[in-house]
Amino acid sequence: MKIGFIGLGVMGAPMAGHLHRVFGLVGIHTRTRSKADPLLSQGVAWFETPQALAQQCDVVCTMLGFPPDVHAVYFGPEGILAGAHSGLCCIDFTTTRPQLAKDIASQLTTCGGFFFDAPVSGGDVGARQATLSIMVGGSKTQFPIIQSLLEAVGQKVVYQGHAGAGQHTKMTNQIVIAGTMIGVCEALLYGVRAGLDLETMLSSIRPGAAGCWTLENLAPRILKQDFEPGFYIEHFVKDMEIALNEASRLGICLPGLALVHQFYRAAQNIGLGKKGTQALYRVLESLASPT
């Protein structure tokens, strides 16, 4: 397979690196060319547009930021679909709107290609270690063709159903994370005020019923006052807004998610949008009652 990759951010760069190591990338494109330098130095070709890359590839993978970015990369005048050809497979790892995934799948099908929405979970750690959980929507009959490719970047690859099903599954993931994150931050605040040694406290609750990925990977960063992004707050806000909009469309109310969304919007308002999701701790810390 001739594989191309678009989007070399916090998650995309290591994912592209794994794919190049296992399969060999023929080309890359990203908004900021300097981010491509490590792969360019390994002989991967640079393409000026998504269209040009698509014309030369059997598979194009994308890992972008926001739904408008996905729309532009696929539907733009020099986008992937402008360079689509029969047999082209596109895999979008971005978390985006389920309907957008369906729209891309429909358009690519008319060109004789096929599309998979394959959002991931596991943060920067999972991306670097190739241990991501990947939730896949698209053609069930075509899924085996790309399974080995997905397994090069993820530890758990699960086919979820038709186009858009991967994105819907990722929404359930983000709903769980939202509730978990506020719980972890509040637990740490409580521990501080109770005078506990937080490392010792965590050694007790991690192996118990409270154990979770957030407690294992992000709580230690909070203790070190490390709020650098493994996953940007601004991206998480985007995900929560997609989930809330989809919930409204489905006729359900998610008050817990709506509450956490408000706290994260507050984080954005005080300039934390480019920090990691664990920076929610700073918002909650500022709201904590004085001793």
For residue 291, is pLDDT > 60?
no
Tell me the average pLDDT of the chain: 96
For residue 169, the tally of other CB atoms under 10 A from its CB is: 21
pLDDT at 93: 98
Q: State the catalytic residue, choosing from 102, 170, 238, 275.
A: 170
pLDDT at 18: 98
Structure tokens that stand for 152 in this block: 């090069």
pLDDT digits (tens, 9 = 90+) for 140-151: 999 999 999 999
Q: What is the mean pLDDT of residues 70-74?
A: 98
Range 169-287: architecture per CATH: Orthogonal Bundle (1.10)
Ramachandran area for residue 171 (φ above 0: left; ψ -120 to 50: alpha; else beta):
alpha
List the chain domain ranges. 3-162, 169-287
Element at 114 (helix H, strand E): strand 114-117
Q: How many CA atoms lie within 13 A of 53 on its CB side?
A: 29
In 34-158, which ranges are continuous DSSP H helix?
Answer: 37-40, 50-55, 67-75, 98-110, 123-129, 143-151
As a whole number of angstroms, the distance between CA 50 and CA 72 comes to 10
Q: In this predicted model, which residue has the larger pLDDT, 151 or 288?
A: 151
For residue 290, is pLDDT > 80?
no
pLDDT digits (tens, 9 = 90+) for 268-284: 999 999 999 999 999 99
Tell me whether residue 238 is one of the annotated catalytic residues: no
For residue 127, is pLDDT > 80?
yes
For residue 290, the tally of other CB atoms under 10 A from its CB is: 3
**What CATH code would you report for 3-162?**
3.40.50.720
For residue 289, is pLDDT > 80?
no
pLDDT at 288: 84
Q: What is the mean pLDDT of residues 189-196?
A: 97
**With contact defined as beta carbons under 8 Å apart, do 198 and 221 qualify?**
no
Amino acid at 23: F
